[in-house]
Structure 1
């Protein structure tokens, strides 16, 4: 047997890699062919969007051609970076499939793949993925990626020798970047005006938007994963109201999901989607806050930001670097419990007791891995009794994270007997549903949230009437939802240009007589101030004030309840 030296083996292997049988062309044809395909077919939603912006045909054509060449140059530069044996075809295939998937979600829901949307997608669970899968997704993948994938895998590129390949790839990258820069300069006036007036377009350039978002998410998150969270409220102690308390406080914080204020009956919506809450409001004990803004447009941003000590302007909407409200409550000596019926607490509950509704399915309320929100109340007394007794004797804070109105499967969010608005949309392809049926399905989910809050309030009132606790509830949604307005569906539009429907959220609060007295709250004052603007920024400080937790981390100026408390400030 002939024995080859290591150098001979390297040359032999290189020859195998560089002389693919039946190869028809060098990589330049593949790179530029795929780049041009991505810039045209792969960006049809972008070109359709620009074509609908108005202006003359010549103006629209100039913008599409100019931006198309920029996308082609950028895509070519990226593909040249990946143009290596055993890498190129796999990487190019991934980019084509990503372009197809992005096109589908832009066509169907109007969402764009910015960094927050990508991070949200990476934290999506199997239930949410299932709701989004329709036959249109493989059809979009086939339409956008099918032909170039067939061409790419039918014949391999002829790579050539190693050092010439390095030179060729470097020149290819420079050529792609040069095309991008030259066209951008020649079209600067039109493109600059377009991007200034329509910022969402920068996240529609496919698949460069995903490459950019992946880079941003990795750069933001990887360093934080190796650093411990900064402590918050290390000086936290319970205030004077705990010294000789007759009963401990019990506060339930309901974190709503995808509820928009526009469809909340208490906010003047034409439909009575909140009849139970209206009855509680009529008693005088429930206050509706009508002008509340969310911190983000998706759960991954809004839930951590809601519990963050930082305001949105201070970076509360960024991946957390600090501990949160639950850490401070627990540090002060209170018992804290998180109950989840969603895709997790996004790290907020990692250091406190927590459980999922689906862990012990409730007959009639749970089907498979999905539960109606009322399952959060099942066995709640026993869950509280199982908490640290010394902490529970001081006070308890329970957080319930709803499934709420999570889409697109709105029809699954309420049982058949609690659907006052019919017929309803039952398709995940929301654009296929008549407008009225889509609103029916969404409004039924809001009506079920009203029912769930009613059940929770009845339970809390029972606890107060028995003298077990001084009870209260604060409900606020994490973000809103688009239901076809301006061609948008679902949520997750970058906050800078998110529509009102995705950031204006409902919020209500109810306090028993005992909790109002110990906190010194005036209901008349709260009702008078209920129409003033508040936001998720106020949540951390308001809860600490209500629970009489003394710490320098609480800023009285951000406590929305403080002006109506006996010890204001």
Structure 2
């Protein structure tokens, strides 16, 4: 008994921390578990709790060793507090892609996510246990004794896990085979594992590497004497099923419905976050082959256009180009800055990117031009900030970033007001393009990077792993407008393509085709504007 007490005392901090994580920080995990097992099975529920405790304690045992114990546990409590907040509030999974999104989040986006509820989580579940850990006197031991205790606790925890798996073998077999999503909610195991994955990938990908040229043979078709002016609007967080052009009950597209536009109703995104979808759209790799490492090691669509003599310009009112403009920085303009964007109130507005754009077009009239506009669009959770108050047509609209305090109807109304403003913004892009039809073949392509969850089944925002993400996050809006005299696909022929299953993968060759660029990397089958 004395030996057991000494053993427990030595490992008390790890075991108590694991117990705290299991009971206090895994509400989302157990909530999703209960959603699966509608017929409550108390014995299996307790077993799942025991296994989660043992796995958490095992992970802590591997991470904590003598002098590293305190700093590791303090860091983990703070991470777990924030993770618990986002999982419980937005049902967000903190996987490797979400870690990437967090790292790339700018100050404005971070401000939108700040709430006093988050501060409460940090103080109670983060700072308080971190302070307690800092005051604990850990037993001192020799290297040999510490290693022996480490081996013993690991063996004990493994024995607990194996015994539970054996006792409920049928339950666990079904659980891990059919309900893999639940394990993503294990806190802090998932965020720590994801952070390690991201760190390893960043270290590997961050080393200097030679950039592989893309489309070195790219040139403008000799038979094409026309000039092409294309504005590509890389929309933010717009759901296809909230566009009235696609049959949505609310009139969210009153201005675009007056134009000859075609809505691509069956488009699939490359990812569920900007950090994945935007570079993937321009990479030419396709969703199945895309990886951040491959993207960073190669040129992309805009490099090819620039090589072929097309004048490229990127105006950004969002985060940034996500690496797309790395080699074309001279043609990147940041419109989040009020010194540049002349239309700002609570934040700089997307329509500000259009100011002075005609002058840029006039200066390059003898060249093909491709302009990329990256608007703030419908980025959540502060939807109410994404549009001027004059566009608050759908009410009552949620007026807080604490989405759980609003009804599903209020959240949808606020989101729909952002779509209404996007409708206005896109109509102004068309108004800009129309007078240029006498000198250019003009076209506008609007393609949102991903969709958004608006509280359906308790899920909010975006960024879920693609394999388990709701359709709402993978079904973005996309609209095409072609100017009068466009040589190629007619408006009527384009309408026939509106219901075809398309994806972000088509953008690469479609833009090359629009500009009549000849290159081996152009795939006519992936050009949805090809006659």
Q: TM-score range by the shorter chain?
A: over 0.9
What is the aligned counterpart of 2:423 among 440, 450, 457? 450
After superposition, the C-alpha distances for 1:66-89 in whole angstroms (9 at most, x for unaligned) are: 332232222222222333444221
1:48 maps to 2:31: yes
The 1:418–1:70 alpha-carbon spacing in structure 2 relative to 1, beyond 3 Å, is: same
CA–CA distance in structure 1, aligned partners of residues 349 and 334 of structure 2? 12
Counterparts of 2:28 and 2:431 in 1: how far apart (Å)? Answer: 49
Matched, 1:148 2:129: yes
Q: Deviations over 1:14-36 (max 9, x none)?
A: xxxxxxxxxxx954010111011
Are 2:108 and 1:127 equivalent residues in the alignment? yes
Asked if the contact 2:228/2:514 (under 8 Å) is kept, the reply is: no
Correspondence for 1:16: none
Check conservation: 1:297, 1:503, Cα contact below 8 A: yes
Instruction: Give the structure 1 partner of residue 5 of structure 2.
Output: none
Quote the residue 1:215 is aligned against.
Answer: 196
Q: Pick the structure with greater CA Rg.
A: 1
1:521 to 2:489 alignment: yes
Instruction: Indicate whether 1:28 and 2:32 are aligned.
Output: no
Instruction: Give runs of aligned pairs for residues 272-421 of structure 1, distance below 5 A.
Output: 272-281=251-260, 286-315=261-290, 320=295, 321-352=297-328, 353-361=331-339, 365-367=343-345, 370-384=347-361, 393-421=366-394
CA shift for structure 1 position 452: 0.3
How far did residue 174 of structure 1 move? 4.2
Change beyond 3 A, Cα 1:136–1:306: same
Question: 2: CA distance between counterparts of 1:342 and 1:178?
Answer: 51
Q: For residue 499 of structure 1, report the CA deviation from its aligned partner.
A: 0.9
Residue 474 (str. 1) matches residue 442 (str. 2): no
Change (3 A) 1:384 1:178: farther
Matching residue of 2:483:
512
Q: Aligned residue for 2:3?
A: none
Note closer, same or farther for the CA distance 1:317–1:297 as it changes in structure 2 (3 Å cut).
Answer: farther
1:555 matched to 2:530? The reply is: no
Number of equivalences: 521
How far does residue 119 in structure 1 lie from its aligned partner after superposition? 1.1
Aligned to 2:402: 429
Measured in 1, the distance between the counterparts of 2:375 and 2:45 equals: 43
Give the CA deviation at 1:279: 0.4
Note if contact 2:269-2:475 (Cα within 8 Å) is conserved in structure 1. yes
Q: 1:543 aligns with which of 505, 511, 517?
A: 511
Q: Pick closer, same or farther for the CA change 1:508–1:318 going to 2, 3 Å.
A: farther
CA contact (8 A) 1:77 1:175 kept: no
- Relative to structure 1, is the Cα distance of residues 131 and 535 closer, same or farther in structure 2, using a 3 angstrom cutoff? same
Q: Aligned runs of 1:167-316 on 2, under 5 Å?
A: 167-226=148-207, 227-242=209-224, 244-245=225-226, 248-281=227-260, 286-315=261-290
Q: What is the alpha-carbon distance in structure 2 between the residues aligned to residue 66 and residue 275 of structure 1?
A: 55
The alpha-carbon distance between structure 1 residues 185 and 476, as it changes in their structure 2 partners (threshold 3 A), is farther
State the Cα distance separating 1:475 from its structure 2 match.
0.2
1:65 to 39, 46, 60: 46
Q: What is the Cα deviation at residue 230 of structure 1?
A: 2.4
- Label 1:209 to 1:223 Cα distance change in 2 as closer, same or farther (>3 A): same
Assess if the C-alpha contact under 8 Å between 1:89 and 1:152 holds in 2: yes
Provide the rounded CA distance (Å) in 1 between the counterparts of 2:483 and 2:75.
56
Distance 2:447 2:135 in 1: 54
Counterparts of 1:55 and 1:488, CA distance in 2: 19
SS class of match (2:410): helix
Over residues 100-121 of structure 1, what are the superposed CA-to-partner deviations in whole Å (9 max), with x where a residue is unaligned? 1111111111111111111111
1:229 and 1:323 in contact (8 A); partners too: yes
CA distance in 2, matches of 1:267, 1:316: 31
Name whichever of 37-46 and 140-149 sits farther off.
Answer: 140-149
